[in-house]
Structure 1
Amino acid sequence: MKVGEEGKVYDDINITPMLDVAYVLLLIFIIMTTATVQGITVNLPKASSTPSLSKPKTKAISITKDGTVYLDTYPISLADLETRLGQYKAATPDLPVVVKADAAVQYEKVIEVLDIVTRLEISQLGLVTQKLVK
């Protein structure tokens, strides 16, 4: 321990130099992190036509109260529905399909449509409902 001019004993540690080192290390860490995140600038080549990166268009299957099945807005039989969906699935493997059925439609008709979708292994399937208003 060091004794001061007036005979006082200094028993505390001066942490100012240690804080200076910590701040310098923090500053170096911040600068190095932001330098590595920016990456490398490259001049990208130009293409005459760019491929579409958007999701494929969703196909809507609607079933009316009387049991008529529509693909998008066109009436279609169940056999033709399977053929058309198979063609769309071949063109875009991740084809999204939405089923909209009237509340009064027979349950069997909805199951027939869902069976076709399952046979074609369409995994992106949505069932449209209305929000319950209280």
Structure 2
Amino acid sequence: MQADNKSYDDINVTPMVDLYLVLLLIFIIMTTAGVQGVKVNLPRGGPSTSKPLDGPKMQAITVNNEGKIALNTIPVTIEELASKLESLKSSMPDMPVVIRGDSATQYQLIMDVLTVVGRLGITQVGLATQAKK
């Protein structure tokens, strides 16, 4: 028997590419899952007659039961909300906004957010609710 003295000139990169693709897939899923907003207990509402606001440029404003406001999961004050929405509107004039308020939130906080949105001239506004059981 003769010993195999051949050198291996090529490297099999298929397992490495598979690993990179799996890591890329995990990264994509985790980044899109974290953009949904702050968890709140939405109030119950009737059937919707309007079309849903979707799209990559949609902004979510959340008011939780402690009265804290968040713009796309980033905590802001009402003044910071106004300035950030104004800068976003200058780059995307037809930007839709969804306001998500916890069912235990004081109504005045939601009205303050709606006042800011109205003052900036944002016309595509939605109020998020849960469907009635």
Identity of aligned residues (%): 39
CA distance in 1, matches of 2:56, 2:67: 27
CA distance in 1, matches of 2:86, 2:95: 10
CA distance in 1, matches of 2:117, 2:101: 15
Could you tell me whether the CA contact under 8 Å between 1:56 and 1:95 is conserved in 2? no
**Structure 1: segments with no counterpart, 5+ residues:** 1-54
Query: Of the two, which has the highest radius of gyration?
Result: 1
Equivalences for 1:16-95 in 2 at 5 Å? 57-95=57-95
Q: TM-score, normalised by structure 2?
A: 0.58
SS at match of 2:94: coil
SS at match of 1:93: coil
Partner letter of residue 77 of structure 1? T
Number of residue pairs aligned between Structure 1 and Structure 2: 79
The match for 1:98 is 98
The match for 1:113 is 113
Deviation at 1:57, TM superposition (A): 1.1
SS at match of 2:87: helix
SS at match of 2:116: helix
The match for 2:125 is 125
**Structure 2: segments with no counterpart, 5+ residues:** 1-54
